[in-house]
Amino acid sequence: MDFYKRASLAVRSVPKGRVATYGQIALLCGVPNYARQVGHALNGERLGQVPAHRIVNSRGILSGAAAFETFDLQKRLLEAEGVEVAQTDRGFWVDLKKYRWENTFEEALWLKQEFDRLGI
Protein backbone atom coordinates (compact mmCIF):
# COMPACT_ATOMS: atom_id res chain seq x y z
CA MET A 1 0.00 0.00 0.00
CA ASP A 2 1.25 3.48 -0.88
CA PHE A 3 -0.47 5.70 1.65
CA TYR A 4 0.61 8.97 0.04
CA LYS A 5 -0.76 8.04 -3.37
CA ARG A 6 -4.02 6.91 -1.79
CA ALA A 7 -4.30 10.12 0.23
CA SER A 8 -3.57 12.22 -2.86
CA LEU A 9 -6.39 10.54 -4.79
CA ALA A 10 -8.79 10.83 -1.83
CA VAL A 11 -8.06 14.54 -1.28
CA ARG A 12 -8.51 15.24 -5.00
CA SER A 13 -11.96 13.62 -4.71
CA VAL A 14 -13.28 16.25 -2.27
CA PRO A 15 -15.64 18.45 -4.33
CA LYS A 16 -15.34 22.23 -4.62
CA GLY A 17 -17.41 23.96 -1.98
CA ARG A 18 -17.00 21.08 0.49
CA VAL A 19 -14.48 20.11 3.15
CA ALA A 20 -13.35 16.78 4.58
CA THR A 21 -11.56 15.95 7.80
CA TYR A 22 -8.13 14.38 8.17
CA GLY A 23 -9.81 11.35 9.71
CA GLN A 24 -12.28 11.06 6.84
CA ILE A 25 -9.42 11.01 4.31
CA ALA A 26 -7.58 8.39 6.39
CA LEU A 27 -10.71 6.23 6.53
CA LEU A 28 -11.20 6.50 2.77
CA CYS A 29 -7.58 5.36 2.39
CA GLY A 30 -8.34 2.24 4.43
CA VAL A 31 -6.31 3.27 7.49
CA PRO A 32 -8.70 5.01 9.91
CA ASN A 33 -6.00 5.67 12.52
CA TYR A 34 -3.83 7.69 10.09
CA ALA A 35 -5.46 11.13 10.51
CA ARG A 36 -2.18 12.66 11.71
CA GLN A 37 -0.33 11.16 8.78
CA VAL A 38 -2.78 12.86 6.42
CA GLY A 39 -1.88 16.16 8.05
CA HIS A 40 1.85 15.48 7.81
CA ALA A 41 1.50 14.47 4.17
CA LEU A 42 -0.41 17.65 3.32
CA ASN A 43 1.96 19.87 5.29
CA GLY A 44 5.02 18.24 3.78
CA GLU A 45 3.63 18.50 0.24
CA ARG A 46 4.07 14.74 -0.19
CA LEU A 47 0.78 14.50 -2.06
CA GLY A 48 1.61 16.77 -4.98
CA GLN A 49 -0.93 19.22 -6.36
CA VAL A 50 -4.06 18.60 -4.31
CA PRO A 51 -6.78 20.89 -2.92
CA ALA A 52 -5.29 20.77 0.59
CA HIS A 53 -7.37 23.79 1.60
CA ARG A 54 -10.45 21.52 1.68
CA ILE A 55 -9.10 19.44 4.58
CA VAL A 56 -9.87 20.55 8.15
CA ASN A 57 -9.70 18.99 11.60
CA SER A 58 -12.53 17.05 13.22
CA ARG A 59 -13.98 20.23 14.77
CA GLY A 60 -13.92 22.19 11.49
CA ILE A 61 -10.87 24.28 12.44
CA LEU A 62 -8.64 25.28 9.53
CA SER A 63 -4.93 24.46 9.50
CA GLY A 64 -3.69 28.03 9.31
CA ALA A 65 -0.28 29.46 8.55
CA ALA A 66 1.61 26.30 9.48
CA ALA A 67 0.38 24.57 6.33
CA PHE A 68 -0.12 27.51 3.95
CA GLU A 69 1.92 30.45 2.68
CA THR A 70 -0.12 32.97 4.67
CA PHE A 71 -2.24 32.61 7.79
CA ASP A 72 -5.48 33.23 5.89
CA LEU A 73 -4.81 31.52 2.55
CA GLN A 74 -6.87 28.42 3.38
CA LYS A 75 -9.74 30.66 4.47
CA ARG A 76 -9.61 32.72 1.27
CA LEU A 77 -9.47 29.62 -0.95
CA LEU A 78 -12.49 28.10 0.79
CA GLU A 79 -14.45 31.34 0.62
CA ALA A 80 -13.70 31.56 -3.11
CA GLU A 81 -15.49 28.19 -3.42
CA GLY A 82 -18.52 29.44 -1.49
CA VAL A 83 -17.63 27.97 1.91
CA GLU A 84 -18.44 30.28 4.83
CA VAL A 85 -15.53 30.61 7.27
CA ALA A 86 -15.97 32.17 10.72
CA GLN A 87 -13.37 33.55 13.12
CA THR A 88 -13.35 31.88 16.56
CA ASP A 89 -11.03 32.02 19.54
CA ARG A 90 -9.49 28.76 18.24
CA GLY A 91 -8.95 30.07 14.72
CA PHE A 92 -10.88 30.00 11.48
CA TRP A 93 -13.80 27.56 11.53
CA VAL A 94 -16.10 25.85 9.01
CA ASP A 95 -19.52 24.45 9.95
CA LEU A 96 -19.10 20.74 9.21
CA LYS A 97 -22.84 20.17 9.38
CA LYS A 98 -23.21 22.48 6.40
CA TYR A 99 -20.00 22.01 4.38
CA ARG A 100 -18.62 18.56 5.17
CA TRP A 101 -18.40 16.27 2.16
CA GLU A 102 -20.62 13.34 3.04
CA ASN A 103 -19.09 10.88 0.61
CA THR A 104 -21.36 8.10 -0.54
CA PHE A 105 -20.69 4.39 -0.34
CA GLU A 106 -20.33 4.43 -4.13
CA GLU A 107 -17.62 7.11 -3.93
CA ALA A 108 -15.73 5.14 -1.28
CA LEU A 109 -16.05 1.99 -3.37
CA TRP A 110 -14.78 3.84 -6.46
CA LEU A 111 -11.72 4.97 -4.50
CA LYS A 112 -11.06 1.41 -3.32
CA GLN A 113 -11.34 0.15 -6.89
CA GLU A 114 -8.93 2.86 -8.07
CA PHE A 115 -6.44 1.93 -5.33
CA ASP A 116 -6.62 -1.68 -6.49
CA ARG A 117 -6.40 -0.79 -10.18
CA LEU A 118 -3.37 1.44 -9.57
CA GLY A 119 -1.74 -1.06 -7.22
CA ILE A 120 -1.60 1.41 -4.37
pLDDT reported for residue 66: 67
Options 1.20.1730.10, 3.40.50.450, 1.20.58.2240, 1.10.10.10; CATH for 3-118 is 1.10.10.10
pLDDT reported for residue 68: 81
Question: Is pLDDT at 64 greater than 80 in this prediction?
Answer: no
Give CA separation, 75 vs 33, 41, 48, 86, 108, in Å: 27, 20, 20, 9, 27
The more confident residue out of 63 and 35 is: 35
- Determine the angle formed by the axes of helices 3-12 and 105-118, rounding to 10 degrees: 140
Residues of the chain with pLDDT > 70: what percent? 97
* pTM higher than the cut 0.75: yes
Closest to 14 in 3D by CA, of 89, 79, 86, 78: 78
Question: Is pLDDT at 71 greater than 70 in this prediction?
Answer: yes
Q: How far apart are CA 88 and CA 100, in angstroms?
A: 18
Contact between 26 and 33 (Cβ < 8 Å)? yes
Parse the chain into domains and list their residue ranges: 3-118
The more confident residue out of 5 and 69 is: 5
